[in-house]
A and B are shown apart, each in its own frame.
Chain A
Amino acid sequence: MNCEQQMSMLIKVQEMGFVALELNLYLDTHPCDKDALNDFNCAVKLLKKYKQAYEQEFGPLLNFGMSGFAKESWQWIENPWPWEL
């Protein structure tokens, strides 16, 4: 398993997740800011894309059904978990 690639794809997810979080907090107090809304939607789109790319390659980021359907085998118990990288 390619840990370096896994790590770099996970970091992309974390970075875009942070952008979405920051814009989320900004929009809580500036709900009509069009630029922020646009950028938030862009960030969400990219975040979704990065998560899908990661999960396609390395299995679910979340358990309890929050990362969609299981494949033929139960991938959640396959190492390393995202926080073990």
Chain B
Amino acid sequence: MEELYKTKKQMWKPEDAEEDGCSGMMLAHSYVPWQYYTNAFGPQEALMKGTLFPELYGVYMIPE
């Protein structure tokens, strides 16, 4: 693990770069719920809302 980390790091970080204090830390993992196609907006509504998929609309609050 440590070996792999070092090799990866060397690929993008110049050798004389300052230590970033993250050595030995685990990489972050991201999780995305799987999408199922069960419902769709009509073409007009889809273009207005910016998505064809009702489950992807209004997920985040739109700041005023």
Question: A residues engaging B (CB < 8 A)?
Answer: 12, 14-16, 18-19, 22-23, 26, 29-30, 33, 35-36, 39
Q: Which interface class (under 10, 10 to 19, 20 to 34, 35 or more) fits B?
A: 10 to 19
Enumerate 30 A-B pairs (CB-CB under 8 Å) in ascending A order.
Answer: A12-B43, A14-B47, A15-B43, A15-B44, A15-B46, A15-B47, A16-B43, A18-B43, A18-B46, A18-B47, A18-B52, A19-B40, A19-B43, A19-B52, A22-B46, A22-B51, A22-B52, A22-B53, A23-B52, A26-B35, A26-B37, A26-B52, A26-B53, A29-B35, A30-B35, A30-B37, A33-B37, A35-B37, A36-B37, A39-B40
- Which residue of B has the minimal Cβ distance to A25? B52
